[in-house]
Amino acid sequence: MATRLFEGKEHASGYLKYRFSPPEKLQEVIFAYLDNKKVSSFQLAVDVGCGSGQSTLWMAKRFGKVVGTDISEAQIEEAKQAGHPANVSYLVSPAENLPFEDNSVDFIMAFAAVHWFDIPRFMKEVERVLKPSGCVALSTNCLDMQVQYKDCTKKLTEIFNEVC
């Protein structure tokens, strides 16, 4: 897997120092979508590939519990040490094997990370853990990407390309 780039301790502490949160405009778009869609609950949000936590914390004001997961122990250590509200926690875990029960998550996000995942396996996990009324938000800085998911691959990839 081509995931080792961000794993080292030095890289992770550089992340904590310089990495920014998702832009406010994007946060507003996501909140508005969640409100309009009226997800049935705002209990649990999961930030997959959370790095040192910059993409995780902003969800704490809307969800009862927010969990950031990342394959890199160094990134998760930085996230924990950076401090966070009581409803935020972090776990080391690969995106392709998420440590959550079936039908238990309201919202899954992955910012600037999904292009590192094994996308078909990740999407299978998303389908397993997400509640039927749940939502997914994926962002990438990769221009040439496919989101493989059942017979929606073409449509999802078109949407990605449209907003790139």
Ligand X SMILES: C[S@@+](CC[C@H](N)C(=O)[O-])C[C@H]1O[C@@H](n2cnc3c(N)ncnc32)[C@H](O)[C@@H]1O
In whole angstroms, give the CA distance from residue 107 to residue 126.
10
Q: Which is nearer to ligand X, 1 or 151 (CB)?
A: 1
Q: Which of residues 10-29 bind ligand X (CB under 6 A)?
A: 19
Closest distance to ligand X from the beta carbon of 38 (Å): 26
The piece of 3-11, 28-36, 124-132, 152-160 that touches ligand X (CB under 6 A) is 3-11
* Residue 139 CB, nearest approach to ligand X (Å): 8
Q: Does residue 156 contact residue 43 with C-beta atoms inside 8 Å?
A: no
Residue 92 near residue 100, CB atoms below 8 Å: no
Beta strand pairing call for 130-139 and 44-48: unpaired
Site for ligand X in 48-107 (CB under 6 A): 49-51, 54-55, 70-72, 75, 94-96
What is the number of other CB atoms lying within 10 angstroms of the CB of residue 114?
22
Smallest gap, in angstroms, from Cβ of residue 49 to ligand X?
3
DSSP-assigned states of every residue in 46-84: EEET-TTTTTTGGGGGTSSEEEEEES-HHHHHHHHHT--
Task: Report if residue 7 touches ligand X, rule: CB under 6 A.
Answer: yes
Buried b (16+ CB within 10 A) or exposed e, 35-69: eeeebeeeebbbbbbbbbbbbbbbbbeebebbbbb
- Which of 73/158 has CB closer to ligand X? 73
- Single out the residue of 107, 111, 149, 160 in contact with ligand X (rule: CB under 6 A): 111
Strand partners, 135: 107
* Nearest CB to ligand X, comparing residues 82 and 154: 82
Q: How far is the CB of 76 from ligand X (least distance, A)?
A: 9
Token readout for 12 is 């992770």
Q: Which of residues 112-131 bind ligand X (CB under 6 A)?
A: 112-113, 116-117
Q: What does the binding site for ligand X look like in residue numbers (CB under 6 A)?
A: 3, 6-7, 19, 49-51, 54-55, 70-72, 75, 94-96, 111-113, 116-117
